[in-house]
Amino acid sequence: MSEFGSDSWRPVPGFCPKASFTAKGLHEGKRYVFRVRAENIYGLSEPLEGKPVVAKSPFDPPDAPSTPEITAYSPNNCSLTWNPPLNTGGKPITGYYVEKRERGGEWIKVNNYPTPNTSFTVQDLREGSRYEFRVIAINEAGPGKPSKPTEPIIAEAQRWVVKPDAPEPPKADRVTKDSVTLSWRTPRSDGGSKIKGYLIQKKKKGDNDWSDVNGTPVPDNVFKVPGLTEGEEYLFRVIAVNDVGPSDPSRPSNAIIIEEQPNKPCMDLGGMRDITVRAGEDFSIHVPYVAFPKPTLTWFNNDILLDDKDARIFQQLSDDAASVVVKNSKRSDSGQYRLQLRNDAGFDTATINVRVLDRPGPPENLRADEFSGDALTLFWNPPKENGGADITNYIVEKKEMRSPTWSKASIILKSLVLDHNIIFLMLVVTSPHHSVESGIWLSTENTISEYLPKISMVHLIQLKLVILSKQDIHLVSDPPGPPGAPRSIDSTEDSITISWTKPRHDGGSPITGYVVERRLISEDKWIKASHIHIIDLTYKVTSLIENHEYEFRVAAINAAGQGPWSSSSDTIVCRPPPCAPKITSDLSIRDMTVIAGEEFTITVPFIGNPQPKPTWTVNGEEIYPGDRIKFETNSNSTKFINRCAKRSDLGNYTIQLVNSEGSDTASCKVLVVDKPLPPQGPLEVSDITPETCSLSWRPPLDDGGSPITNYVVEKLDPSTGLWVKVSSFVRSCHYDVIGLEPNKKYTFRIRAENQYGLSDPLDLDQPITAKFAFTVPDPPGQPRIPDWDSSNITLTWDRPRNDGGSRIQGYKIEYRDVSEAEWRVANDYLVKDTTHIVHSLLQGQDYEFRVRAKNAAGFSKPSPPSSRFKLKSKSQVPSPPGTPKVVKVGRSYVDLQWEPPLSDGGSRITGYIIEKREVGSGTWQKCNDYNVLDCSYTVLNLIEQADYEFRIFAVNAAGKSEPSSCTTPVKICEIEGGEKPEFIRPLSNVGVPLGAPLVLECEARGKPTPSARWLKNGRELTLGGRFFAESKGGVFKLNITEVWGVDDGDYVCEAINSLGYVTTSARLKIGTPPKIDRMPGDIYLPEGDNTKIKIYYSGDQPMEATLSKDGNKIDETTHIKYTVFDEYLIIFIKEITKTDAGVYKLSVKNDSGSVSASFTVYITGLPGPPIGPLDVSDVTKHTCTLNWKPPSYDGGLRITHYVVERRDISSTHWIIVSSFCKETTFTVQGLTEGQEYLFRVMAVNDNGIGPPLEGVNPIKAKPPF
């Protein structure tokens, strides 16, 4: 093969046994030629040569994809989606490159590896920067053309466009008999889209429906509603409209009665102008107005009431205008015209100036003087009345004595006023040989010329006329004598002012001027100091060389020419006169801000001779030059140079300039800005859980001269040993860390940041472990048995030595028969005290007992088991037997049954004693003469139809027990077909909160219908007060109107009829229901932050807490978690988003009840940029004024202030000129003349500083003129 255009052939590597071959190792884009030879054992054939081919892919790169669409964005990322290209180039698309570009920058590839998807999220954007994005498709042939870029976006929190808020209620500005003018304020939020206009609605008072006033939205905040009915009462409301649609209506206005309201006069002066007319012309003044009722009119001219009797003056007042017409104006009509309109509501005035022009009056006091036979001088005074304009010229007329007519002297005098005296000289020549003629002859310097009539005397001050004949012309004057020698009266660095005296003789003609010459002492040549004649006796010679010596001389000039030179002056030095120093710039308006480490210079211009010595003080202490600080002084300025500014260099800088003539001082302020100091410790960690903790610290002692914009929180990764950024947008001195790994150790550090950099870190003193700050408690003490009976054992134990850092909620008691391995739970609810009675044990069995304590972290390990205890009776009287039950009733007998005592007193029951009592009798009688061993007995010999009560005593070796409860009265009679009572709806255990009412209810059947008896803890309940019982049709109710703590216990209902009895029991537990003690109100949370919300509650444990948002239960995720503690609940929200806004409801319940409460969360953010343009006005060499409008989006919080910054166009640093500007205008001080600056303004709310509004064009600090 060979490259095209080359004759160098080379073999292609490889072996080719077939009639096809693949050539490898070609360079893309190059053109090649191939040839083939056949070979056998006898040699090579002639070649077959092919056509040139280009090494390239057989496929084309794809076309451009569609323009990417931005689906979402935030301060740090942007999500894009796009469609594939229509033409793939013949091969499938293998991927896409995404590119971004900042404003004014180059396109930068975002993904190093092509993404196969048609969507991509661009990360690591810089908040506040403007970006564009584009996409490039790739196939086997390579990358194709880029797509069109997206519309630019600013990396910030995305604002969702919704309908606007409702405007404020409209107010009536003006009410007439058929209209009302309304105005209103814009909505607080425009919904993220510009307000397009407003719809106004009205309704008469008493009507139900609103009607539209305007069909098309009006863009202004003021609208006149026409066509209203006089005397009716109306309500009005306003609706704002943006791109999404109309807002909710505003609240209605106050009721407005349509009637003409008094309105003080208000004149429209927009078309008014001062008036200038010529005398004799007419003029008029017309002033429109608005007023009700119709006002009265008064005209003044020069504060004098206008004479309405003057036939030339016509005044008129209509309903909407006032006017005055002056016919045939005079000079006396000139002056200030003032119109006053007045009614009961007030008055208004307007003024206008009128100027009437006329011919001037005659000059006064014409007189002649200085007669010389051939000449005279005329003098006169200006006229008293100039006709309303300046005198432009005078006309002089002449008349011969014998002539009856005046004729112009053909002389127009202009600019000839000298102390109000006009000097004019004229000669009338009479010749005996000729007729009378006028002639004027002029002599200037060395030339004589005839100057005939028609002379224009424009530049002359004085003119001398002489008689000359045409045959004999001669001069009648000589050059003047020499002036006095010049002397210096003032000097500067480049000029000398000299003066001299007149010559003693003027040569017979007035001096018309002087000539001045100068020379350097070092030179011989005289040169002219002025190229024009000098009229005065002083002259300032300029363009001299400072500190050089000069001589001067002067010569006078009259009509005859220049006279001799004066004597030379003494040697005069060109230099400023001695003077005290004076600083020529106000340093206070040049206060400066300097970045630490950079050089700054304070230049102080001054005048002073001799050169003064500078002394600098900072905050009252004198400073001296050194390696870092230098002073430089020349003849007109001194400089303070600091080669490397330090933060400690800030303060009030004062310079004092001193020389032999005096001194002067000036001051300016210098702010040196730097990165802040570290935050103040200690760095405290609180509310530690396995996944979260809270950090708190104090602000730095020094913010570096610039507000702290944010704090950076970092943690030391326990697995890698590297510091990892947790958040760089923390605005307060508190941060809730979320997402820790349980039981791992962590160390944190905090850095403060301002616009000049990050501070050194504040480190945590000791690492913390991500776990609850408390643990399960230690085991309680070993249980002890202080008391027992035949079936119950009383346990007591000691509290745990350590509660684990959390309150002990209660105890769980476990027991077991020593012959068994399994432990059983003795109590189904937590025991609050360290004493408990275990019931229903078997006598004669050996038992062990142990106790577990519980706190918020869970149950402790069990206590050591108690000593083995064999349940047996004590030797004491038994407890009372159970209440006897009537099993059967006959005509003269009753069958009784009863339960044995719960405790035999530690000694076997030897028998029972049965007693009876007839109802109404107070005496109990013994029924059995022998010892009854069974728990049943038939009482005989009873009186039929009598009512009896029965009770039982148990007897052991220790004696007789207390009697049992007695039966209900039993009627002795024969009953057939009866049924013993049976409960069809028994009692059930119940827990009730303290103070609540309670009803215990059960139902029994039997024949005859049973009656009920209520017992508490084995004793009959005394009814009355808070307790009352109800019985109806076998349904029994025990009502407790208000439950007290002493009501806790076991309640038994006994249903009895003549055939027997039956019982049902229930456990009543008095509990403390949950109570929410502290619930937050409305909460405003910054978007993107982490937060922790703590809610305090109380009540019996265990409690169950559930959290819901907008009616839906919240399931815990990595974004939102909540942890229940003993006395409070903490809600953690990580990286707050707008969807976290809503109504949160907490529900807490325990066995005693439930409670719920809610709070509302609003999501706030940083404010948007102020609305431009950023207007710069009133620019001077050291100041300028900025104006802007508040941002359209305030971040959901009130704008507290603005931060104003400037940047020298030659620098990359922005410098704060105001960190707390409350208004939307600010005057920037301290600019340097001739320097160009850019400005920007940022709005601040409680969340921080928003993006800037930047000025587009730099401004140059320079004088306004």
Model confidence pLDDT, tens digit, residues 494-513:
899 999 999 988 888 889 99
CATH number of the domain at 831, please. 2.60.40.10
* Cβ proximity of 1218 and 1249 under 8 Å: no
Mean pLDDT of all residues in 665-673: 88
In the predicted model, is pLDDT for residue 702 greater than 60? yes
Predicted confidence (pLDDT) per residue in 224-237, tens digit: 999 999 889 999 99
Residues 28-62 pLDDT 10s: 888 899 999 998 878 889 999 899 988 877 778 89
Rounded average pLDDT over 1047-1068: 87
Q: Is residue 908 domain-shared with residue 956, that is, in the same domain? A: yes
Q: Each residue of 890-948: pLDDT tens digit?
A: 888 888 999 999 888 777 888 999 999 988 888 899 998 888 889 999 998 888 888 88
Q: pLDDT at position 477, please?
A: 63
Report, as an integer, the average pLDDT of 357-363.
87
> Which one, of 61, 33, 60, lies nearest residue 48 by Cα?
33
- pLDDT above 60: residue 128: yes
- Quote the pLDDT of residue 373: 53
Average pLDDT for the chain = 84
pLDDT tens-digit profile of 804-832?
Answer: 888 888 999 999 998 888 999 988 778 88
Mean pLDDT to the nearest integer, 302-313: 86
Residue 932 and residue 1013 in one domain: no
> 589 pLDDT band (50/70/90 cuts)?
low
Cβ atoms of 227 and 159 closer than 8 Å:
no
> What is the band of 644 on the pLDDT scale with cuts at 50, 70, 90?
very high
End-of-domain residue from the set 332, 357, 382: 357
Q: Is 331 helix (H, G, I), strand (E, B) or coil?
A: helix
Q: Is 1024 within a domain?
A: yes
Mean pLDDT of 648-677: 89
Residue 645 lies in a domain: yes
Task: Pick the closest to residue 789 from 870, 901, 872 (CA basis).
Answer: 872
Pairing of strands 1201-1208, 1236-1245: antiparallel
- The answer to whether residue 549 sits within a structural domain is yes
Per-residue confidence (pLDDT) for residue 416, from 0 to 100: 32
Round to whole Å and give the CA distance between 1102 and 1108. Answer: 20
- What are the pLDDT digits (tens) for 1213-1261? 888 888 889 999 999 988 888 889 999 999 998 888 889 999 888 898 8
Rounded to an integer, the average pLDDT of 518-535 is 89
Residue 418 lies in a domain: no
* Contacts of 720 by beta carbon, 8 Å cutoff, 6+ apart: none
| Residue 1141 domain-assigned (yes or no) | no
In a domain, 331, yes or no: yes
Answer whether 905's CB lies under 8 Å from 874's CB. yes
Written as six digits, the tokens of 1231 are: 């600019």
Q: How far apart are CA 324 and CA 303, in angstroms?
A: 16
pLDDT band at 836 (very low <50, low <70, confident <90, very high): very high
User: Are residues 669 and 585 both part of a single domain?
Assistant: yes
Q: Is residue 1103 one of the residues assigned to a domain?
A: no
Q: Is the pLDDT of residue 1163 over 50?
A: yes
pLDDT tens-digit readout, 437-475: 333 333 333 322 333 232 333 322 233 333 333 333 333
**Nearest Cα residue to 287 out of 331, 326, 318, 332:** 318
The three-class DSSP label of residue 590 is helix
Q: What secondary structure does DSSP assign to 467-492, as a single string? A: ---SS------------PPPEEEEE-
Chain CA centroid to CA 233, Å: 42
* Residue 997 shares a structural domain with residue 1026: yes
List the Cα angle 399/402/405 in 5-degree steps.
40
The DSSP 8-state label assigned to residue 1116 in this structure reads P
Determine the Cα–Cα distance for residues 525 and 860; give it in Å rounded to an integer.
Answer: 119
Residues 743-778 have pLDDT tens digits of 888 999 999 998 888 999 999 988 988 888 778 899
- The answer to whether the beta carbons of residues 279 and 327 sit under 8 Å apart is no
pLDDT of 454 reads 29
Q: How far apart are CA 190 and CA 165, in angstroms?
A: 6
CA gap 1132, 1144 in Å, rounded: 13
pLDDT score of 450: 32
Q: What pLDDT score was predicted for residue 375?
A: 62
Q: Are residues 938 and 997 in the same domain?
A: no
Asked if residue 716 and residue 668 are part of one domain, the reply reads no
Residue 204 in 3-state DSSP?
A: strand
Range of the domain at 810: 782-871
Question: From its phi and psi, is residue 178 left (phi > 0), alpha (psi between -120 and 50) or beta?
Answer: alpha
300 and 341 share one domain = yes
SS3 587: helix
How large is the average pLDDT for residues 1034-1062? Answer: 88
**310 and 241 in a common domain:** no
**Percent of the chain scored above 70 by pLDDT?**
93
Domain count, the chain: 10
CA atoms within a 13 Å half-sphere pointing along the CA-CB vector of 534: 23
* In a domain? residue 253: yes
The Cα-based distances of 207 to 210, 227, 232, 257 in angstroms read 8, 17, 12, 15
CB–CB of 377/368 below 8 Å?
A: yes
Among 582-591, 655-664, 1095-1104, 1107-1116, name the one with the lowest average pLDDT. Answer: 582-591
- Residues 1059, 1002 share a domain: yes
Q: Which of 591-600, 909-918, 1081-1090 has the highest mean pLDDT?
A: 909-918
Indicate the range of 120-124, 422-426, 563-567, 660-664 predicted with least confidence. 422-426
Of 574, 592, 626, at which residue does a domain stop?
Answer: 574
* pLDDT tens digit sequence for 365-416: 887 766 655 566 777 888 888 877 888 777 777 777 777 787 765 443 333 3
Mean pLDDT of the 839-865 span: 89
User: What does the pLDDT look like over 558-578, one tens digit per residue?
Assistant: 988 899 999 999 999 998 888
- The residue out of 531, 555, 574 marking a domain boundary is 574
Q: What percent of the chain has pLDDT over 90?
A: 32
Run of H or E residues at 1011 = strand 1011-1016
CA distance 265 to 341: 6
What distance in Å separates the CA atoms of residue 742 and residue 718, rounded to the nearest whole number? 12
The pLDDT of 525-537, averaged and rounded, is 90
CA dihedral 1259, 672, 704, 1244 (to 10 degrees): -20
Q: Are residues 605 and 660 in the same domain?
A: yes
Task: Tell me the pLDDT tens digit for each residue of 1114-1152.
Answer: 888 888 888 777 778 888 888 888 888 899 998 888 777
What pLDDT is attached to residue 371?
61
Rounded Cα gap, residues 118 and 95, in angstroms: 9
Question: Is residue 285 domain-shared with residue 223, that is, in the same domain?
Answer: no
**Residues 527 and 516 both lie in one domain:** yes
Q: How many helices (DSSP H) and strands (DSSP E) are in the chain?
A: 0, 110
